[in-house]
Structure 1
């Protein structure tokens, strides 16, 4: 049972990792760009994780972890910030390589500002719930920076891919939050989030993951363009 979380990390990434070497995909050429981006983003989200763990917003069930910790975080939780982004960025890379998922500029011009406003309203309305407040406030800031400051034109496409990944998200986060288990791997303080769940998953988790993937993707694109000699294959 103590290998449960570690096994979830492994199963999340192993298939994507193996197919990274496929001759029609060759995602392995971008391992350097991915690990650099995930390291930078991971520092921020691990810091967020440490803060919330210390303040009791969430905590981990010792029954499902090996017991090895860094800064009070299970090693499995730290690996989460590598395995999940890897699978998501790999999926984005493949779908973007073989399919046209681009949004019209007019669609993004409506979707992004409306999303920012909605997330700000949610953050303000649920300001007494720290997980809700931090998640939706930081996501609104993220979208503002990426769209209006960085002029990123791929946010709609990234949103489509994230929605396509929902079955996997529901499976992984579902198990972590208690689906199919006697008790959850990750527990949440009911005072710190809205209380709305999809199956066993707090609604905030979906937006937390969305923000994490957006920043991973942004940096991955930057580092890929900078380091690759084959610009034709860059996202």
Structure 2
């Protein structure tokens, strides 16, 4: 097992996007400070969630794949994860929005929100005893409710489409973390705390968890850069 596996996952997730940020046609580098602010706002509650789940054995990390440094029970690579993955996602969204018109995707806002409410509501009701499933359902429903009904954002369809475009990267990164292509998982899950439905090696909850995190990162990034062009 390689002790630098997890840090390399973070590095390769971010490096191409980071270099491309300085391209004069994109100039995402001017938003680095604002990105750090918005990703921290989103990251704090998710990191608290992560710390609590790790402390209670909902999931745990194989430290053989890490450098061995921990903060509040989490490998330092896990802390970096909450900046590296959002950076790649927000950068991709920024570029797609900059060069392509996807306003038509807003027509699917209602369909996405109400379908999500029905499916997640049923899953949460039936599997309320599985803490990862339940908390993922609650956070995603609250996120969609806030964005759609409170602040009334019309880009949920657009963001959802970009999330689908990002799926190959999601499967690559989360696949390795959950045991694809390597002898054993970097992240291990208590089978009593999630549905047990996996996409390859990835728990289905990870995709929903990532979706709510992506929505919130886009929302706060847009909010802190609303006066920038």
Confirm or deny a common fold (TM above 0.5). Answer: yes
> Is residue 141 from structure 1 mapped to residue 145 from structure 2 by the alignment?
no
What's 1:75 paired with? 76
Cα distance, 1:114 vs. partner? 2.2
Cα distance, 1:112 vs. partner? 1.2
**Could you say what secondary structure the match of 1:195 adopts?**
coil
Structure 1 residues 94 and 110: CA distance shift in structure 2, 3 A: same
What's 1:194 paired with? 195
What's 1:17 paired with? 18
CA distance in 1, matches of 2:14, 2:121: 33
Cα distance, 1:105 vs. partner? 4.9
**Could you say what secondary structure the match of 1:127 adopts?**
coil
Cα distance, 1:117 vs. partner? 2.4
Q: Any runs of at least 4 consecutive aligned residues in structure 1 with deviations exceeding 3 A, and if so which?
A: 103-106
**Could you say what secondary structure the match of 2:188 adopts?**
strand
Cα distance, 1:107 vs. partner? 2.5
The CA deviation string for residues 148-186 of structure 1, in whole angstroms up to 9 with x for no partner, is 001111110000000000000000000000001111000
Matches within 5 A, 1:162-173: 162-173=163-174
Question: TM-score, length-normalised on structure 1?
Answer: 0.94
**Could you say what secondary structure the match of 1:59 adopts?**
strand
- Runs (5+) with no aligned partner, structure 1: 231-235
> Is residue 121 from structure 1 mapped to residue 143 from structure 2 by the alignment?
no
Cα distance, 1:110 vs. partner? 2.5
Contact 1:65/1:76 (<8 A) preserved: yes
Structure 1 residues 61 and 105: CA distance shift in structure 2, 3 A: closer
> Is residue 221 from structure 1 mapped to residue 206 from structure 2 by the alignment?
no
Cα distance, 1:106 vs. partner? 4.3
Matches within 5 A, 1:41-190: 41-103=42-104, 105-190=106-191
The number of residue pairs the alignment matches comes to 228
Cα distance, 1:195 vs. partner? 0.3
CA distance in 2, matches of 1:178, 1:131: 19
Cα distance, 1:118 vs. partner? 1.7
Contact 2:58/2:190 (<8 A) preserved: yes
CA distance in 1, matches of 2:97, 2:49: 30
Question: TM-score, length-normalised on structure 2?
Answer: 0.97
**Could you say what secondary structure the match of 1:120 adopts?**
helix
Contact 2:133/2:194 (<8 A) preserved: yes
Cα distance, 1:31 vs. partner? 1.1
Structure 1 residues 99 and 17: CA distance shift in structure 2, 3 A: same
Q: Tell me how large the CA RMSD over aligned residues is.
A: 1.0
